[in-house]
Chain A
């Protein structure tokens, strides 16, 4: 069954702690993306990667970091520098090339206590 998995589904973090969200895909897609969704808003791009060992900042990269050591994995770390990390985080992947649709994972709800 091809798809994108994100874990955990719910995550709680104390202020000042770093936390890593997992994203794995078995669709053999080259490109992967992280978006953040806040209530009543659209999705905003945090980071994206078009190929292994390479990634670029999106519109709201401050306070986040990523790695892309394997094609199928694109973990996102929310650092203590992120001022307002409570949000819903969505990971997506797409085949390489312009205009291809992105396929999304089920998301992780992060709450800072």
Chain B
């Protein structure tokens, strides 16, 4: 069975704090893809990153960084020096090869960054 778990339902931080959003996935496939999406108050999902199962390199994009570890089936997302504009719901998702690109979403983590 394929599954994505985001155990943190809500996180609240004060501006400039660092925050890590956890994502754990389950799949028996050797080829798969992992994604992070941001859903701001407008509710339109914004794509943040994609990783395939053969690329375990960590990635940094500005204040955002991602840590992919196959050994623990995790794909965690860290925001450094958080800002109020980072307040949103963040979703981790998994897709499998030859499954039409279907995304299996976690339940999301609602991040609130207070000034």
Contact = CB atoms under 8 A, between A and B. Distances in A.
Contacts of B9: 40
Contact of B50 (A58, A92, A101, A105): A101
Contacts of B4: 42
Given A99-B33, A101-B47, A102-B47, A41 B107 contact: yes
B61 interface: no
Contact of A104 (B45, B50, B107, B108): B45
Interface residues of B, number: 27
Interface string A91-113: 01010011111111111000000
A42 B107 contact: yes
Nearest to A42: B105
Interface string B64-98: 00000000000000000000000000010101011
B8 to A, nearest CB: 13
A105 B45 CA distance: 8
B101 A99 contact: yes
A44 B97 CA distance: 18
Contacts of B47: 101-104
Interface residues on A, range: 20 to 34
Nearest to B33: A99
Contact of B100 (A44, A48, A92, A107): A48
B101 A40 contact: no
Nearest to B99: A98
A31 interface: yes
B102 A33 contact: yes
B42 interface: yes
B105 A102 contact: no
Interface of A: 31, 33, 35, 40-45, 48, 50, 56, 58, 88, 90, 92, 94, 97-107
7 contacts: A31-B101, A33-B102, A40-B107, A40-B108, A41-B107, A97-B101, A103-B47
Interface of B: 4, 9, 31, 33, 35, 37, 42-47, 50, 52, 91, 93, 95, 97-98, 100-103, 105-108
